[in-house]
Structure 1
Amino acid sequence: MTSWLYGAALVVAGLAAVLLVVDLIRDRAAQDSHYIALAVVELLMLVQLVVGVVALSRTSRDIEGAVFVSYLVTNAIIPVVAAFFSLAERSRVGTTILLLAVVTVAGLELRLWDVWGGPHA
Protein backbone atom coordinates (compact mmCIF):
# COMPACT_ATOMS: atom_id res chain seq x y z
CA MET A 1 0.00 0.00 0.00
CA THR A 2 1.36 3.39 -0.89
CA SER A 3 1.51 6.30 1.51
CA TRP A 4 0.26 8.80 -1.09
CA LEU A 5 -2.89 6.76 -1.69
CA TYR A 6 -3.44 6.44 2.05
CA GLY A 7 -3.01 10.19 2.47
CA ALA A 8 -5.27 10.99 -0.47
CA ALA A 9 -8.00 8.75 0.94
CA LEU A 10 -7.83 10.48 4.31
CA VAL A 11 -7.86 13.96 2.76
CA VAL A 12 -10.78 13.21 0.44
CA ALA A 13 -12.78 11.56 3.23
CA GLY A 14 -11.99 14.50 5.51
CA LEU A 15 -13.09 17.07 2.92
CA ALA A 16 -16.30 15.14 2.28
CA ALA A 17 -16.93 15.00 6.02
CA VAL A 18 -16.49 18.77 6.33
CA LEU A 19 -18.93 19.35 3.46
CA LEU A 20 -21.46 17.04 5.08
CA VAL A 21 -21.10 18.57 8.55
CA VAL A 22 -21.60 22.07 7.14
CA ASP A 23 -24.78 20.98 5.38
CA LEU A 24 -26.00 19.15 8.48
CA ILE A 25 -25.57 22.34 10.47
CA ARG A 26 -27.50 24.17 7.73
CA ASP A 27 -30.22 21.49 8.06
CA ARG A 28 -30.00 20.37 4.42
CA ALA A 29 -30.94 17.03 2.96
CA ALA A 30 -28.45 15.13 0.83
CA GLN A 31 -27.51 17.09 -2.30
CA ASP A 32 -25.87 16.21 -5.60
CA SER A 33 -22.59 17.64 -4.31
CA HIS A 34 -22.67 15.09 -1.49
CA TYR A 35 -23.09 12.22 -3.91
CA ILE A 36 -20.29 13.57 -6.10
CA ALA A 37 -18.00 13.70 -3.05
CA LEU A 38 -19.05 10.16 -2.16
CA ALA A 39 -18.34 9.04 -5.74
CA VAL A 40 -14.82 10.48 -5.48
CA VAL A 41 -14.33 8.58 -2.22
CA GLU A 42 -15.63 5.41 -3.89
CA LEU A 43 -13.34 5.82 -6.89
CA LEU A 44 -10.38 6.24 -4.58
CA MET A 45 -11.41 3.15 -2.60
CA LEU A 46 -11.61 1.08 -5.79
CA VAL A 47 -8.14 2.25 -6.82
CA GLN A 48 -6.87 1.42 -3.36
CA LEU A 49 -8.46 -2.03 -3.54
CA VAL A 50 -6.59 -2.85 -6.72
CA VAL A 51 -3.30 -1.30 -5.58
CA GLY A 52 -3.59 -2.94 -2.17
CA VAL A 53 -4.20 -6.44 -3.55
CA VAL A 54 -1.29 -6.06 -5.97
CA ALA A 55 0.97 -4.76 -3.18
CA LEU A 56 -0.07 -7.64 -0.94
CA SER A 57 0.80 -10.18 -3.63
CA ARG A 58 4.25 -8.64 -4.10
CA THR A 59 5.25 -8.06 -0.49
CA SER A 60 7.37 -10.30 1.71
CA ARG A 61 5.97 -8.77 4.91
CA ASP A 62 4.16 -10.78 7.51
CA ILE A 63 0.66 -9.41 6.90
CA GLU A 64 -2.71 -10.96 7.65
CA GLY A 65 -3.80 -11.09 4.03
CA ALA A 66 -7.45 -11.98 4.69
CA VAL A 67 -7.84 -9.13 7.19
CA PHE A 68 -6.14 -6.66 4.86
CA VAL A 69 -8.26 -7.60 1.85
CA SER A 70 -11.45 -7.62 3.91
CA TYR A 71 -10.75 -4.05 5.04
CA LEU A 72 -10.10 -3.02 1.42
CA VAL A 73 -13.34 -4.63 0.21
CA THR A 74 -15.35 -3.18 3.09
CA ASN A 75 -13.97 0.28 2.34
CA ALA A 76 -15.10 -0.11 -1.26
CA ILE A 77 -18.61 -1.26 -0.28
CA ILE A 78 -19.41 1.34 2.40
CA PRO A 79 -19.91 4.37 0.10
CA VAL A 80 -22.22 2.43 -2.21
CA VAL A 81 -24.38 1.11 0.63
CA ALA A 82 -24.50 4.56 2.23
CA ALA A 83 -25.61 6.14 -1.05
CA PHE A 84 -28.49 3.67 -1.38
CA PHE A 85 -29.62 4.23 2.21
CA SER A 86 -29.30 7.98 1.80
CA LEU A 87 -31.37 7.93 -1.39
CA ALA A 88 -34.04 5.98 0.46
CA GLU A 89 -34.12 8.59 3.21
CA ARG A 90 -34.34 11.97 1.47
CA SER A 91 -34.07 14.09 4.60
CA ARG A 92 -31.39 15.30 6.95
CA VAL A 93 -30.98 11.68 8.06
CA GLY A 94 -29.69 10.86 4.57
CA THR A 95 -26.94 13.43 4.99
CA THR A 96 -26.08 11.91 8.36
CA ILE A 97 -25.82 8.47 6.75
CA LEU A 98 -23.32 9.84 4.22
CA LEU A 99 -21.33 11.48 7.02
CA LEU A 100 -21.18 8.21 8.93
CA ALA A 101 -19.97 6.48 5.77
CA VAL A 102 -17.05 8.85 5.15
CA VAL A 103 -16.05 8.78 8.81
CA THR A 104 -16.14 4.97 8.71
CA VAL A 105 -13.99 4.98 5.57
CA ALA A 106 -11.45 7.23 7.30
CA GLY A 107 -11.44 4.97 10.36
CA LEU A 108 -10.90 1.88 8.24
CA GLU A 109 -8.08 3.68 6.43
CA LEU A 110 -6.30 4.17 9.75
CA ARG A 111 -6.79 0.50 10.54
CA LEU A 112 -5.56 -0.52 7.07
CA TRP A 113 -2.38 1.44 7.67
CA ASP A 114 -1.84 -0.41 10.95
CA VAL A 115 -2.44 -3.80 9.33
CA TRP A 116 -0.07 -2.95 6.50
CA GLY A 117 2.65 -1.97 8.92
CA GLY A 118 2.83 1.80 8.86
CA PRO A 119 5.33 3.93 6.95
CA HIS A 120 7.31 1.02 5.51
CA ALA A 121 5.36 1.18 2.24
Structure 2
Amino acid sequence: MPLSLHHIVIDAHDLPGLARFWAGVLRWRILSEREREVVIGPDENAPVGICFMPVSDRKAVKNRLHLDLMSDARDREAEIERVLALGARRADVGQSGDESWVVLADPEGNEFCVVRPKRTLIA
Protein backbone atom coordinates (compact mmCIF):
# COMPACT_ATOMS: atom_id res chain seq x y z
CA MET A 1 0.00 0.00 0.00
CA PRO A 2 1.46 3.41 -0.92
CA LEU A 3 1.96 6.06 1.73
CA SER A 4 -0.76 8.65 2.22
CA LEU A 5 -0.99 11.86 4.22
CA HIS A 6 -2.57 11.28 7.64
CA HIS A 7 -1.93 14.44 9.72
CA ILE A 8 -0.28 17.74 9.28
CA VAL A 9 1.53 18.33 12.59
CA ILE A 10 1.88 21.84 14.03
CA ASP A 11 4.09 22.54 17.04
CA ALA A 12 2.37 24.76 19.59
CA HIS A 13 2.74 26.34 23.03
CA ASP A 14 -1.01 26.49 23.64
CA LEU A 15 -2.26 23.23 22.13
CA PRO A 16 -5.97 23.65 22.92
CA GLY A 17 -5.94 27.35 21.99
CA LEU A 18 -4.24 26.86 18.65
CA ALA A 19 -6.40 23.82 17.90
CA ARG A 20 -9.55 25.87 18.59
CA PHE A 21 -8.25 28.65 16.32
CA TRP A 22 -7.60 26.27 13.41
CA ALA A 23 -10.85 24.36 13.99
CA GLY A 24 -12.65 27.71 13.72
CA VAL A 25 -10.73 28.76 10.61
CA LEU A 26 -11.44 25.50 8.79
CA ARG A 27 -14.89 24.96 10.35
CA TRP A 28 -13.62 21.63 11.63
CA ARG A 29 -13.97 20.20 15.12
CA ILE A 30 -11.69 18.93 17.83
CA LEU A 31 -11.60 15.15 17.48
CA SER A 32 -9.18 14.25 20.28
CA GLU A 33 -7.73 16.31 23.11
CA ARG A 34 -4.95 14.92 25.27
CA GLU A 35 -2.29 16.62 27.37
CA ARG A 36 0.39 16.29 24.68
CA GLU A 37 -1.72 16.04 21.52
CA VAL A 38 -4.83 17.68 20.10
CA VAL A 39 -6.28 16.50 16.78
CA ILE A 40 -8.78 18.39 14.62
CA GLY A 41 -10.55 17.41 11.42
CA PRO A 42 -13.82 17.66 9.56
CA ASP A 43 -14.84 14.32 11.10
CA GLU A 44 -13.15 11.28 12.57
CA ASN A 45 -13.24 9.41 9.24
CA ALA A 46 -11.66 12.20 7.18
CA PRO A 47 -8.52 11.19 5.29
CA VAL A 48 -6.41 14.07 6.71
CA GLY A 49 -6.41 16.05 9.95
CA ILE A 50 -4.18 18.46 11.84
CA CYS A 51 -2.38 17.36 15.00
CA PHE A 52 -1.00 19.90 17.50
CA MET A 53 2.03 18.83 19.53
CA PRO A 54 3.82 20.68 22.36
CA VAL A 55 7.05 22.54 21.80
CA SER A 56 9.09 24.59 24.27
CA ASP A 57 10.95 26.96 21.94
CA ARG A 58 9.33 29.99 20.31
CA LYS A 59 8.95 30.36 16.54
CA ALA A 60 11.79 32.56 15.31
CA VAL A 61 11.82 32.49 11.50
CA LYS A 62 9.42 32.19 8.57
CA ASN A 63 7.82 28.76 8.22
CA ARG A 64 9.52 26.37 5.82
CA LEU A 65 6.11 24.80 5.22
CA HIS A 66 2.75 26.57 5.29
CA LEU A 67 -0.89 25.96 4.47
CA ASP A 68 -2.64 27.54 1.49
CA LEU A 69 -6.35 27.99 2.12
CA MET A 70 -8.89 28.71 -0.59
CA SER A 71 -12.33 30.28 -0.56
CA ASP A 72 -14.87 31.11 -3.23
CA ALA A 73 -13.82 34.36 -4.91
CA ARG A 74 -17.04 36.09 -3.85
CA ASP A 75 -16.40 35.27 -0.19
CA ARG A 76 -12.63 35.68 -0.03
CA GLU A 77 -12.49 39.08 1.67
CA ALA A 78 -15.24 38.14 4.11
CA GLU A 79 -13.38 34.92 4.96
CA ILE A 80 -10.14 36.86 5.53
CA GLU A 81 -11.99 39.19 7.90
CA ARG A 82 -13.59 36.21 9.69
CA VAL A 83 -10.16 34.59 10.18
CA LEU A 84 -8.67 37.87 11.43
CA ALA A 85 -11.54 38.11 13.95
CA LEU A 86 -10.65 34.58 15.16
CA GLY A 87 -7.15 35.78 16.08
CA ALA A 88 -5.06 35.75 12.90
CA ARG A 89 -3.01 38.76 11.86
CA ARG A 90 -1.66 39.99 8.56
CA ALA A 91 1.95 38.94 7.97
CA ASP A 92 4.72 40.40 5.83
CA VAL A 93 7.08 37.77 4.43
CA GLY A 94 8.45 40.00 1.69
CA GLN A 95 5.50 40.04 -0.68
CA SER A 96 5.32 42.85 -3.25
CA GLY A 97 1.59 43.55 -2.99
CA ASP A 98 0.84 42.21 -6.47
CA GLU A 99 0.35 38.62 -5.32
CA SER A 100 -2.88 36.75 -5.82
CA TRP A 101 -2.76 35.58 -2.18
CA VAL A 102 -2.91 37.17 1.25
CA VAL A 103 -0.41 36.13 3.92
CA LEU A 104 -1.75 35.76 7.47
CA ALA A 105 -0.31 34.31 10.67
CA ASP A 106 -2.07 32.28 13.34
CA PRO A 107 -1.94 33.34 17.03
CA GLU A 108 1.48 31.67 17.47
CA GLY A 109 2.95 33.28 14.34
CA ASN A 110 2.68 30.40 11.86
CA GLU A 111 2.18 31.89 8.41
CA PHE A 112 -0.52 30.69 6.03
CA CYS A 113 -2.01 32.05 2.82
CA VAL A 114 -5.51 32.66 1.55
CA VAL A 115 -5.25 32.04 -2.20
CA ARG A 116 -7.50 32.74 -5.13
CA PRO A 117 -9.78 29.93 -6.25
CA LYS A 118 -8.25 27.62 -8.82
CA ARG A 119 -9.48 24.63 -10.70
CA THR A 120 -6.39 22.41 -10.64
CA LEU A 121 -3.35 21.87 -8.45
CA ILE A 122 -1.01 23.22 -11.14
CA ALA A 123 -2.79 26.36 -12.32
Above 0.5 in TM-score? no
More helix by share: 1
TM range (shorter): under 0.3
Which protein has greater RCO, CA pairs closer than 8 Å, 6+ apart? 1
Give the TM-score of the pair, scaled to structure 2.
0.22
More strand by share: 2
